[in-house]
A = this chain, B = another copy of it.
C-alpha cells in the first residue's frame, strides 16, 4: 500500500508506551501515565473520545454528537507526555515490538516498549455480513447519524405513500438484539413516534408506528435476570414496543426480514428501517496477536488474556476493553476503564522495578443500568461482600442513570448542555437534535428510487 516507511518516536530515552484506541480503555490508559516518566503515543481511528453508552441518544435526537465526543487531544492537552496520532493500525509485530499504521498515506512504523491494545469491538452479524447494509449497528457517530436519518426518513416516506402495505412497511421499525442498546433504541423510537413526532404529519399518524424488538434469547436484558428483565419487557410493551423473544433473524433484505421462532416456524416482518444491536466482534487486531503468540480468541474474536491482561510470552503487550475476554467482565465502559487502569498500573510498577506479588486483574462490578423510556430504567447494583444485588426498576433507577451518565460525561460544558437538553426532552415532547444530514437521507432516497425502478422493470 504505502511506498515509504519511516520510524517515529523510536529510540527515545524514555520508555515508549503505545496505546491503540481512544475509547474508555485507551483514554483511561493514557491518563494513568500523566505523572510517569514515559512517552505515550495514542493511535486512534477518530479524533474524538466517544461516550458510546449515549450514542443511542444521538441517533434519536436527544443530544448532539459533540456532547458525547470531545476531541481526544483537547482532553489530553495538558498531559505533555502524550502524543495523539490519527490513523488506523494495519499490523502489530510483537516480536519486533512495532506497530505499523497508515499515517498521511505512508506506512509508518512505530516502535514500543509497552503496548496496550484497546481497539474495541465492531458490530457482528454472526457471519451474515450482508445484513449490515439493511440493518446498521450503532458503534460510531456516523452510525448514529445514519440511523437518525433512516428513522426520520422512514416517517417522511410513509407520509408520502398512499399504499397501505408500503406505509405499514415504512412505519415498522425492527430492532434486533434486546441488550441495553437494543432496549434503549426501541424505547426511544417508540417515544419519538408517540410524542416527538405526534401531530407533525398530515397523512399518517406517527403514533401508528410499530416498533418490534427481536431477540433469539428468552429475555430482554439477559444479564439483569428474572425480575428486572420481566419489568423491562413489561415497561417496553406499555410504551408500545412489541417484544418478540426466542426469535432468531435468519434472513434480511431491503423490505424486511425473516424470523425463526422457537417452534421452528419462519415468518416474515415487512420493515424498511432495521437496527442491529445483536452482537459484537473483537477488533481484527486480536487475530494478529493470536497468530503471533499462544493467546486464543473466544467465539466473538476477543483475546483470552492472561490474569494480568497481557498475552502469553509477551508481558509487555496488554489487551483491554471490548477486545479483551475475561470471564465475568462484561463489554462495558466499567470493564474497559478498570482493565486500562490495571494494565497501566502493571507497566508503571514494572518500570519502578516493584512488580513482585501483583494480584491478577479483578473486576469490580459497580452495577449495570439501562434506560427504557423517560422516567423508566432498570438498575442492578451488587452489594459488596455478598452475592446479592440491589435491584431497581422505574423512576429511581432512571434518576440514577441520568445522574451517573452526567458524571461520566467528559467536560463540565458537555454535562451542563446535556442536562439542559435532557430537561427539555423529558419535560416536553421535543428534542433538540433532529437535524438530518443529507448524505443519509439522499442515500436512502437514491436506493429507494432505484429499488422502485428496478421492481417496476421486473414487473414490466
> Measuring CB to CB, which residues of chain A are less than 8 angstroms from any residue of chain B?
1-4, 6, 46-48, 61, 64-71, 73-74, 76-78, 80, 82-87, 102-106, 108, 140-142, 145, 152-153, 156-157, 159-162, 196-197, 199-203, 411, 413-414, 416-417, 420-421, 424, 430, 432-439, 441, 445, 448-449, 451-453, 456
Check B432–A421 contact: CB distance below 8 A: no
Check B47–A156 contact: CB distance below 8 A: yes
Tell me which of B68, B103, B153, B413 contacts A424 (CB under 8 A).
Answer: B413
Closest to A105 in B: B452
Residues on B with beta carbons closer than 8 Å to the beta carbon of A420: 413, 416-417, 420
Cα A159 to Cα B413 in complex, Å, equals 27
Check B430–A200 contact: CB distance below 8 A: no
A3-B453, A67-B432, A432-B66 known; A439 and B142 CB under 8 Å? yes
CB distance from A119 to the nearest CB of B (A): 15
Residues on B with beta carbons closer than 8 Å to the beta carbon of A68: 435
Tell me which of B47, B61, B201, B417 contacts A441 (CB under 8 A).
Answer: B47
Residues on B with beta carbons closer than 8 Å to the beta carbon of A82: 202
Closest to A446 in B: B105
Tell me which of B3, B104, B439 contacts A456 (CB under 8 A).
Answer: B3
Tell me if A's interface is mostly helix, strand, loop or mixed: mixed
Cα A157 to Cα B451 in complex, Å, equals 40
Closest to A162 in B: B6
Residues on B with beta carbons closer than 8 Å to the beta carbon of A432: 66-67, 411, 413-414, 417
- CB-defined A-B contacts under 8 Å, sample of 12: A46-B436, A48-B436, A64-B433, A64-B435, A66-B433, A71-B434, A73-B197, A73-B201, A76-B200, A140-B438, A413-B420, A437-B437
Check A449–B417 contact: CB distance below 8 A: no
CB distance from A9 to the nearest CB of B (A): 10
Tell me which of B85, B104, B141, B200 contacts A71 (CB under 8 A).
Answer: B200
Cα A452 to Cα B414 in complex, Å, equals 38
Cα A456 to Cα B5 in complex, Å, equals 13
CB distance from A186 to the nearest CB of B (A): 22
Closest to A166 in B: B104
A106-B452, A199-B77 known; A435 and B160 CB under 8 Å? no
Tell me which of B85, B161, B200 contacts A104 (CB under 8 A).
Answer: B161
Tell me which of B65, B102, B145, B200 contacts A74 (CB under 8 A).
Answer: B200
Check A417–B413 contact: CB distance below 8 A: no
Residues on B with beta carbons closer than 8 Å to the beta carbon of A145: 437
Residues on B with beta carbons closer than 8 Å to the beta carbon of A196: 74
Cα A198 to Cα B15 in complex, Å, equals 26
Cα A391 to Cα B189 in complex, Å, equals 50
Residues on B with beta carbons closer than 8 Å to the beta carbon of A78: 199
